[in-house]
Chains A and B, each alone.
Chain A
Amino acid sequence: MNYLFNASGRDRITLWYLDNRSIRKKSVPNRTWIFVTGAVHDLEFLSGQLDEVEWIRYSWDERRDIYGLLKGIRIDLNPSCIRRMVEAIDVIGLGRKLMVYNADINPSLRYLSENNLTLFPLESPDFLDIVPEITQIEATTYGKELKSIVLDGKHIDPSRRESYAGIAHRIQESGIVIYGNYGKQTEMILERIGRMGIDIPGYRIIRGNSYESYGQVHYNCNRISMSGRLCIESSSFTFSEAGLPGLIEVSRISSVPLETASVITPGTAVSSMEVSFALKKGVLVPLYKNDHEAEKTVRELIATDRGGLVLQPDPGLYRNVYEIDFSSMYPSIIVRHNLSPETITRGVGQEIPGTPYRVRTDRTGFLSEALSHLLSRRLYYKSIRDREHIYAQRDTALKWMLLTSFGYTGYKNAKFGRIEVHESITSTGRWAMTRSMRIAESMGFKVIHGIVDSLWIEGDGDVDTLLEKIREETRIDIVMDGHYAWILFLPSRSGIGALNRYLGLRTDGTYKARGIEVRRSDVPDICRKFQMEAMKLFENCFTPEAIVSKRGKYKVLKDRYTNSMHTFPEEDFYINVSPSRRMEEYGVNNISRIVMKKWKSMGHEISPGENVSVKVVNWKMRVVEPASGKGSIDYAFYRKYVLRAFEAFDYLVECAARAQGSGKSAYKGLYFFSEN
């Protein structure tokens, strides 16, 4: 059996096959080409210059990009020469006269796409993946010391030479190495193996970096690349979200080799998938985009430059609430409404609500076509995700790709993006939400809240008919995500309803929580534990009366958490700290700065976005210790966290007390509680 699972190289591509659990490699020559367009006289000038160089092969050709047919010059060359050739063309064309295509594509991706090869191919989407031997190395450190090592799920002694020999042996016989290197622990292990003179494959360290995405600072730790093996860092985004099956799915869909897929963002994976799709269809991929934002008036800019619709809920307890969700709303809009850079016009086509644009419907847009396969695949895995965990992992990976596919349409360097598409998508999304609100209201429901692609509606109407009507009108699939016996929308500090903080008890006895401590990673476990226990306490309380009846037990629970904190294990007080800037950039001595200072004194500099687990030993003296370090807990410091964790449930009991006996919801307008 020959099963393709990796490709590497440039001028020669090495295809990695799995042949009855052993790895077989095949090396093939990889000659490629780039395409240049421009005004005829500029192309003729370029042609004259190319004639001067004997080894360059080129031909006049006609190719199409997403907008239409282009006449130009095709230059055949090796991938390793492309960069120098592009530099030369830039000089010849004075940097603006000539447009270059297919010049910055990953050679493996291009070879696979042009030869119609798929990594980790599946005959049926239900089939499981075939993978080479895997080894997994995880370890913990204290300062520069290895505290523990886990090899393939088994603890081994970090002080014994045999342990390192065992690790080396497992690396030697594996095709995939999964390793944790957030505290540079695997680097330390490999260094030690080297010092001991134990044989391992050659490796190199790729330095990590901090980066900002959607207003948050993240950190990519140092990575390890090892000869003849695919190395996956376990804290990398896709692996930590969707595991190996999810990562393999990304590699399969985007034609990006597995190791690369583990370090790129889902957005880059979508972009690669689009490039791969273009190559398969014979569509040119521009090196630099030339489809700038079209001129618009300030009024048009203000009207179109907006995101999704987010309503303002009144804080309170609502009963008999349905949550209805558009499935993959933005990708569905792209696909079903045919939104693509070349289909958006100002002249002909169907009107796009809320924008001055129109969309052509006489041909299928490139973006719509490229994403339709991804969308249908995701919807398929979503429908079977409960059958096998692996399907859920594939679904998660595809969900992330689809989520970012929308954002990329507004990214200035996206190969197939255009801001007008981005504006049209959000505008159509807002239109779909407002239409759904009106349909729901006409059927007797009351709209409580809405966030971009979800609506919470209260009432006894026929939900199935409602969903059918919305589907029919908006052309976007919508499903019921939950039926809540009650849902509590919490107030923000300013007194109006918080947009994304709520807790709901579904009629099947399960909860959905957002924004409260049980969902947050920046609070100590003791807060999560309290809220888990409170949720357990109220789990069968489907009515306000039942909630109020637990008031006594709830008070006992709170007393236990406030008066007996010292009885909880130390791990419950560990806090994850992730500084968002460099130490010297902090103006105040907050916990992030104190932690960075402490780590520096231990010989390790924390980079912005890096995550470390700490405990506060004495807050007055600003003393913190690594989670596994010495020192006792400063309970006074943790008290404020615990009191904050009470707030959501205090509010639940308060609202329930107001609503009991009425059979109605209790929500707070701005002045007083109302009943509905």
Chain B
Amino acid sequence: MGRSTPTVRQSTNSIVEKYARMKTCMRSTDIEIFEELIRMGRKHSPEVSEAGLDAETGFTLSALLEILKLIRSVSERDHD
């Protein structure tokens, strides 16, 4: 818990609130994927905090990391 500056988790919540407004005009099939993307962006808050990154960059890196993990696990499954 931060003393006077918001934590990365708190800042990420604000970002997610902002991004979530996109859903109002989004196709329902996209909404599901969009929500997955949001979850991906949230996932690495502790590491983002540790690195002292701004939450927006952290969100993007977190989502990218999870997407790469997903691609790798899918290709490993296909390989098996």
Binding site for B on A (CB under 8 A): 299, 301-303, 305-307, 309-312, 410, 419, 422, 430, 434, 494-496, 669-671, 674
B57 within 8 A of A: no
Would B50 and A670 count as touching, CB distance under 8 A? no
- In angstroms, Cα B45 to Cα A490, docked, is 18
B64 to chain A, nearest CB (A): 13
- A sample of 29 cross-chain residue pairs with beta-carbon separation below 8 angstroms, ordered by A number, consists of A299-B52, A301-B5, A302-B5, A305-B2, A305-B3, A305-B4, A305-B5, A306-B7, A307-B2, A309-B50, A311-B46, A312-B44, A312-B45, A312-B46, A410-B3, A419-B3, A422-B3, A430-B50, A494-B39, A495-B35, A496-B39, A496-B43, A670-B36, A670-B43, A670-B66, A670-B70, A671-B36, A671-B70, A674-B73
Would A669 and B45 count as touching, CB distance under 8 A? no
B68 to chain A, nearest CB (A): 12
B60 within 8 A of A: no
Would B7 and A307 count as touching, CB distance under 8 A? yes
Q: Is the interface of B mostly helix, strand, loop or mixed?
A: helix
- In angstroms, Cα B6 to Cα A305, docked, is 9
The count of A-to-B residue pairs whose CB atoms sit within 8 angstroms is 51
B55 to chain A, nearest CB (A): 11
- In angstroms, Cα B3 to Cα A312, docked, is 21
Task: List the B side residues contacting A312 at CB < 8 Å.
Answer: 42-46
- In angstroms, Cα B66 to Cα A445, docked, is 22
B26 within 8 A of A: no
Residue of B3, B42, B49, B70 with highest tally of chain A CB at under 10 A: B3
Query: Which residue of A is nearest B45, CB measured?
Result: A312
In-complex Cβ contact of A496 among B5, B42, B70 (8 A):
B42
Contact with A along B1-45 (1 / 0, CB 8 A): 111110100000000000000000000000000011011101111
Task: List the B side residues contacting A410 at CB < 8 Å.
Answer: 3
Q: Top 8 closest A-B pairs, CB basis?
A: A307-B1, A495-B39, A305-B5, A305-B3, A303-B52, A311-B46, A496-B39, A670-B39
Task: List the B side residues contacting A301 at CB < 8 Å.
Answer: 4-5
| Additional 12 contacts, C-beta under 8 A, given A494-B39, A669-B69, A670-B36 | A303-B52, A305-B5, A306-B49, A307-B7, A312-B45, A419-B3, A430-B50, A494-B42, A495-B39, A496-B42, A671-B36, A674-B73
A303 to chain B, nearest CB (A): 5
Task: List the B side residues contacting A305 at CB < 8 Å.
Answer: 2-5
Task: List the A side residues contacting B46 at CB < 8 Å.
Answer: 309-312
Would B73 and A302 count as touching, CB distance under 8 A? no
Given A312-B44, A671-B70, answer yes or no on A306-B2 (Cβ-Cβ < 8 Å). yes
- In angstroms, Cα B5 to Cα A301, docked, is 8
- In angstroms, Cα B4 to Cα A305, docked, is 7
- In angstroms, Cα B15 to Cα A346, docked, is 35
- In angstroms, Cα B44 to Cα A311, docked, is 8
